[in-house]
């Protein structure tokens, strides 16, 4: 129990640092940390509701909670959606990776260790896209949000592929996982397409 709390505390601190680092040039520190507080509170509320009533849905409820945190930030703090969303994606990945690593060690779980390695790959993918997306000829707008949306879209596609293979994963919601993951991936790529058209 204490180990899990310690891992999540480290995850939250890592989240806060990366979130702040991504946004420090555009917003006051107070706004950044208030936004992070709304998002992490939303994640925590989603997690508590899930583990109390419907554990397999915890990832989706945490994702919904994070989304609610972003919406509150937009309404109260007047932050911009794509900047906040992209910062959330890259700030959350190390936290997720730590959870996978902790579970792989605690339960000697190969699937969790593979999840940890996959999360590292997604982090590398994000930073690659973030440093190159403005050079893509078809992405003429150069708008921020590309890296986070593409990375998240690929994450959801990966979840759909794993779900089709009928792997047993705690955060999968049985027969609904493929449909939910594919839909989420489609929405991410649709948002990228819309961003690409903006000048």
> Quick count: other Cβ atoms within 10 Å of Cβ 55?
12
pLDDT, mean of residues 140-162: 91
Q: How confident is the model at residue 174 (pLDDT cuts 50, 70, 90)?
A: low
Roughly how many angstroms between the first and final C-alpha of the chain, as a whole number? 50
Average pLDDT value for residue range 170-195: 82
Q: Alpha helices, DSSP H only, in 133-175?
A: 146-164
**Structure tokens given for 173:** 């919601």
In tens, the pLDDT along 25-54 reads 999 999 999 999 999 999 999 999 988 888
Dihedral (Cα; 180, 38, 127, 153), 10-degree rounding: 10
**pLDDT, average across residues 2-14:** 89
The ranges assigned to domains in the chain are 2-197
pLDDT reported for residue 188: 96
Convert the pLDDT of each residue in 76-134 to its tens digit. Answer: 999 999 999 999 999 999 999 999 998 888 888 888 898 899 999 999 999 999 999 98
Average pLDDT of the segment spanning 130-151: 89
Please list, in sequence order, all residues whose beta carbon lies within 8 angstroms of the beta carbon of residue 187, skipping any fewer than 6 positions away: none
For residue 66, give the nearest of 31, 91, 103 by alpha carbon.
91
Over residues 137-166, mean pLDDT: 87
């Amino acid at each position: 129990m204490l180990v899990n709390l310690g891992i999540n505390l480290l995850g939250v601190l890592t989240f806060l640092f990366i979130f702040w680092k991504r946004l420090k040039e555009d917003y006051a520190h107070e706004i950044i940390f208030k936004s992070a507080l709304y998002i992490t509170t939303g994640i925590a509320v989603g997690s508590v509701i899930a583990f109390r009533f419907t554990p397999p849905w915890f990832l989706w409820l945490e994702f919904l909670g994070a989304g609610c945190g972003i919406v509150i930030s937009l309404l109260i703090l007047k932050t911009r959606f794509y900047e906040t969303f992209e910062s959330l994606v890259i700030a959350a990945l190390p936290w997720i990776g730590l959870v996978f690593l902790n579970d792989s060690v605690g339960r000697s779980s190969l699937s969790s260790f593979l999840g940890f390695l996959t999360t590292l790959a997604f982090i590398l993918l994000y930073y690659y896209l973030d440093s190159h997306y403005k050079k893509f000829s078809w992405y003429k707008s150069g708008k921020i949000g590309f890296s986070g949306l593409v990375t998240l879209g690929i994450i959801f596609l990966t979840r759909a592929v794993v779900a089709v293979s009928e792997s047993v994963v705690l955060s999968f919601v049985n027969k609904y996982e493929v449909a939910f993951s594919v839909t989420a991936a489609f929405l991410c790529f649709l948002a990228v397409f819309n961003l690409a058209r903006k000048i």
